[in-house]
Amino acid sequence: MTFLIASIPSPGTNSISIGPLTFNAYGLCIGIGALAAIYIAQRRWVARGGNGDDVFEVAKWAVPAGVIGARIYHLVTDWRPIGEWLKIWNGGLGIPGGLIAGIGVGYLVAKRRGITDLPNMLDAAIPGIAVAQAIGRIGNWFNQEIFGGPSDLPWAVEIDNPPAPFEAERTFHPAFLYEATWNLLLFGFLVWIDRRGVLKKGMILPLYVAGYAIGRFIVEAVRIDEATEILGIRVNHWMSGTAILLSALALVFVYRKAAPSHWAVESSDQPDGQPAAS
């Protein structure tokens, strides 16, 4: 049996032209991902009886905060010259920092807006972040970054200028694609388990963090790009391991203390025990 695709070619440019306009592909993917997350959050929040405008108002502050937090995390963990600090279109956004800043600011803005059921709103919004991350990772393809060791698999990605000592190689594991795929699967899992009605309010966030951290831990082991290390271990491995542990503790705490989730309450109101359609 022969494969129709021997490898995945990398784009010859990191820009996309739409009519007279030219966009940086990485930035465009980040923007599209953010819009997708906002759309998903709005649909899920309205299904819970919330006001769709709340999502847009929170996103106006949370999205920029997430980008800034992601850039700061990258600069702290992977030092770059001062002249490179603002060039986010060349890559260099640390997702853990973006999550902490974006979710934190979004929570505060929602609270100031008078939204009282904040755990329920978080449950509505969090799954969309996984989709945003998956779309954003496609931008790494355009930048020819976030790849693993040499590979001859049919989905290996072609890299024009491999780092030492792999200059003679041309195809590598597409770590960016592995992470994107994992994030889409994580999104599907979160939506599925949420609709099962077995969770309590606020459990989606630690579930998401744990799921993302597990995937990131695995993908980080594939990557061959230079990274800051602590005791010979990549810093993102430390961060992922810490996130998994803290998320597990948070899940136990929330399960013991929180009220039933939106879908759990709705399920209990149905004669057949099934969640009502939204």
More confident residue, 49 or 70: 49
What does the alpha-carbon distance between residue 179 and residue 141 come to, in Å, rounded to a whole number? 12
Judged on CB neighbours under 10 Å (0-12, 13-18, 19+), 1 is exposed
104, 12 contact by CB (below 8 A): no
Which structure tokens are listed for 48?
Answer: 């819970």
Termini Cα distance of the chain: 45
Which range, 95-99, 184-188, 223-227, 249-253, has the best average confidence (pLDDT)?
184-188
Strand segments (E) across the chain: 15-18, 21-24, 157-158, 171-172, 229-230, 233-234
Crossing angle of helices 95-112 and 204-222, in 10° steps, is: 160
User: 65 pLDDT exceeds 80?
Assistant: yes
Percent above pLDDT 90 for the chain:
46
125, 118 contact by CB (below 8 A): no
Which structure tokens are listed for 277?
Answer: 């359609």
Percent above pLDDT 70 for the chain:
85
- Please give the C-alpha separations between residue 145 and each of 10, 19, 242, 277, in angstroms, as whole numbers: 10, 27, 25, 42
Q: Give the pLDDT score at 117.
A: 87
CA 127 to chain centre: 9
Strand segments (E) across 45-174: 157-158, 171-172
- Residue reference for tokens 């998956």: 134
pLDDT tens figures, 29-46: 989 999 999 999 999 999
Phi-psi label, residue 92: left if phi above 0, alpha if psi -120 to 50, beta otherwise: left
Three-state DSSP at 21 gives strand
Q: Give the pLDDT score at 278.
A: 35
202, 122 contact by CB (below 8 A): yes
User: 9 pLDDT exceeds 50?
Assistant: yes
Say if pTM beats, i.e. exceeds, 0.95: no
- Please give the C-alpha separations between residue 91 and each of 16, 75, 145, 162, 231, in angstroms, as whole numbers: 16, 11, 8, 17, 26
User: 236 pLDDT exceeds 90?
Assistant: no
Residues listed for the chain? 278
Judged on CB neighbours under 10 Å (0-12, 13-18, 19+), 37 is buried
Q: Give the pLDDT score at 5.
A: 60
Radius of gyration, alpha carbons of the chain: 20
What does the alpha-carbon distance between residue 52 and residue 266 come to, in Å, rounded to a whole number? 20
- Please give the C-alpha separations between residue 266 and each of 8, 47, 175, 259, 274, in angstroms, as whole numbers: 46, 11, 40, 13, 8
What does the alpha-carbon distance between residue 172 and residue 158 come to, in Å, rounded to a whole number? 6
